[in-house]
Structure 1
Amino acid sequence: MAIYEQIGKSYDLTRRADPEIAARLAVHLQVKSDASYLDVGCGTGNYTLALAKSGGIWHGVDQSKKMIDAATNKSNIVAWQVAEAEALPYADKTFSGVLCTLAIHHFVALTPAFQEIYRVLAAGRFVLFTATPEQMSKYWLFEYFPEAIHKSAEQMPSLEKVRYALKEAGFNSVNIEPYSISENLQDLFLYSGKYRPEIYLDENIRSGISTFALLASPEEIAAGCQRLATDINTGCITDIVNKYENNHGDYLFVIAEKINHELA
Structure 2
Amino acid sequence: MTREYDRIGKSYDSSRCADPYLTARLLDLIQPEAHGKYLDIGCGTGNYTAALRNKGLDIVGVEPSEVMLETARLRHAHMNWISGAAEAIPFPPDTFLGAIATLTIHHWNALEKGFAEISRVLKPKGRWVVFTSWPAQMKGYWLNHYFPAMLAASIAQMPSLDAIALAGEKSGLTVVETEKYHVADDLQDGFLYIGKHKPEMYFDTRIRNGISSFASLAHQDEVNAGLAQLRLDIDTGCFESVRKRYENALGDYLFIVLEKAI
Could you say which TM-score interval applies, normalised by the shorter chain? over 0.9
Q: CA–CA distance in 1 between the matches of 2:255 and 2:56? A: 20
Residue identity opposite 1:38 in structure 2: L
CA deviation after TM superposition for structure 1 residue 78, in Å: 2.4
Q: CA–CA distance in 1 between the matches of 2:99 and 2:195? A: 28
Q: CA–CA distance in 1 between the matches of 2:129 and 2:84? A: 19
Q: CA–CA distance in 1 between the matches of 2:49 and 2:57? A: 11
Cα displacement string for residues 147-185 of structure 1 (whole angstroms, at most 9, x for unaligned residues): 000000001011110111011110134321111100110
Q: CA–CA distance in 2 between the matches of 1:31 and 1:93? A: 16
Q: Map 1:67-82 to 2 at 5 A.
A: 67-82=68-83
- 2:241 is matched with 239
The 8 Å contact of residues 129 and 252 in structure 1, kept in 2 or not, is answered as yes
CA deviation after TM superposition for structure 1 residue 33, in Å: 4.0
Q: Map 1:41-56 to 2 at 5 A.
A: 41-56=42-57
Q: CA–CA distance in 1 between the matches of 2:118 and 2:108? A: 12
The 8 Å contact of residues 16 and 190 in structure 2, kept in 1 or not, is answered as yes
SS of 1:38 mapped into structure 2: strand
Q: CA–CA distance in 2 between the matches of 1:135 and 1:144? A: 17
- 1:255 is matched with 257
Bigger shift: residues 200-209 or 74-83: 74-83
TM-score calculated relative to the size of structure 1: 0.96
Q: Map 1:219-230 to 2 at 5 A.
A: 219-230=221-232
Residue identity opposite 1:145 in structure 2: F
CA deviation after TM superposition for structure 1 residue 53, in Å: 1.7
- 1:90 is matched with 91
- 2:172 is matched with 170
Q: CA–CA distance in 2 between the matches of 1:59 and 1:83? A: 12
CA deviation after TM superposition for structure 1 residue 144, in Å: 0.3
Q: CA–CA distance in 2 between the matches of 1:9 and 1:114? A: 28
Cα displacement string for residues 118-140 of structure 1 (whole angstroms, at most 9, x for unaligned residues): 11011320100000011111100
Q: CA–CA distance in 1 between the matches of 2:13 and 2:244? A: 31
Cα displacement string for residues 23-69 of structure 1 (whole angstroms, at most 9, x for unaligned residues): 00000011234211000000000011111122121110111000011
TM superposition outliers: structure 1 runs of 4+ over 2 Å: none
CA deviation after TM superposition for structure 1 residue 84, in Å: 1.1
Q: CA–CA distance in 2 between the matches of 1:32 and 1:18? A: 23
SS of 2:101 mapped into structure 1: strand
Bigger shift: residues 171-180 or 129-138: 171-180
- 1:200 is matched with 202
- 1:34 is matched with 35
The structure 2 residue matched to 1:216, chosen from 215, 218, 237, is 218
- 2:101 is matched with 100
SS of 2:130 mapped into structure 1: strand
The structure 2 residue matched to 1:126, chosen from 113, 125, 128, is 128
Identity, in percent, stands at 47
The 8 Å contact of residues 175 and 256 in structure 2, kept in 1 or not, is answered as no
Say if 1:114 and 1:51 are closer, same or farther in 2 by CA, change over 3 A.
same
SS of 1:195 mapped into structure 2: coil
Q: CA–CA distance in 1 between the matches of 2:239 and 2:32? A: 41
Residue ranges of structure 2 left out of the alignment (5+ in a row): none
Q: CA–CA distance in 1 between the matches of 2:185 and 2:237? A: 18
Q: CA–CA distance in 2 between the matches of 1:236 and 1:32? A: 51
Residue 137, structure 1, aligned to residue 139, structure 2: yes
Cα RMSD (Å) of the superposition? 1.0
The 8 Å contact of residues 97 and 126 in structure 1, kept in 2 or not, is answered as yes
Cα displacement string for residues 238-264 of structure 1 (whole angstroms, at most 9, x for unaligned residues): 1111110110110000000124x3xxx
SS of 2:43 mapped into structure 1: coil
Q: CA–CA distance in 1 between the matches of 2:174 and 2:152? A: 33
Q: CA–CA distance in 1 between the matches of 2:222 and 2:164? A: 31
CA deviation after TM superposition for structure 1 residue 13, in Å: 0.3
The 8 Å contact of residues 57 and 78 in structure 1, kept in 2 or not, is answered as no
